[in-house]
Amino acid sequence: MSSSSYSSSPCAACKFLRRKCMPDCIFAPYFPPEEPQKFANVHKIFGASNVSKLLNEVPPFQREDAVNSLAYEAEARLKDPVYGCVGAISVLQRQVITLQRELDATNANLFRYAYNEMPPLRPPQPPPPSAAGQSSGFCYPYQWNDPSDEDNERSSGGNM
């Protein structure tokens, strides 16, 4: 199977898929044989063919970043099958909102102090976590308005 000119070991993807690792294997640069779990996770969640298609749509100099992000999302989905990496996004978004509110209140306090010579007020307590208005209480920072026509797809910058 292997010739003398081809002595490199197959990449993790080809090893997992039990196929010959060709020189132009699209997975080889990003799934070294030393990291088998990386491809296993990605294949389990997304599938090798999907990953291959995604990588082909991305410029070569950005493929490593794309693979790393897919590996991260795959691992997150395996750890949390319900929310995956979106859970982390929700937590961070809440943190941003809380910090922004505290900062606004502290800035208002500083303004009072600096310009009115009044003692500062206490910053407001952060609001308790509430699921009001959302079925899960999750905070999705980017809203996706599903376009029913093509025009929306082009201008779907929207909130993103």
Partner 1 sequence: MTLKGGATSACAACKYQRRKCIPECLLAPYFPADQTKVFQNAHKLFGVSNIVKILRSLDPSQHAEAMRSIKYQANVRDRFPVYGCLGVIRQLYYQIQMLEEEMHTVLTQLEMYRQHHHHQQQQQQHQHQHQISSMADDVISQLELGMAPSNNALPLFNQVTHQPYTMQNTYSSSDIDSPPKENVENNSLWIQHLFLDTNNHGTSNNDSPIAIQSQLLVPNSEPLADTQHQVVQDYDEIHPFFDSIDDRQSYIDTKDAEDSS
Residues that bind partner 1 (CB under 8 A): 44-47, 49-50, 53-54, 57-58, 62, 65-66, 68-70, 72-73, 77, 81-89, 92-93, 95-96, 99-100, 102-103, 106-107, 109-110, 113-114, 117-122, 135-136, 138, 140-142, 144, 146-148, 153, 156, 160
44 and 78 Cβ atoms separated by less than 8 Å:
yes
Query: How far is the CA of 47 from the CAs of 16, 17, 41, in angstroms?
Result: 12, 11, 9
The distance of closest approach from Cβ of residue 130 to partner 1 in the complex, given in angstroms and rounded to an integer, is 17
Task: Identify which of 43, 42, 47, 5 has the alpha carbon closest to the alpha carbon of residue 23.
Answer: 5
Q: Find all residues with CB under 8 Å of 158, minimum gap 6, and list them.
A: 143, 145
User: CB-wise, 22 or 103, nearer to partner 1?
Assistant: 103
User: CB-wise, 25 or 93, nearer to partner 1?
Assistant: 93
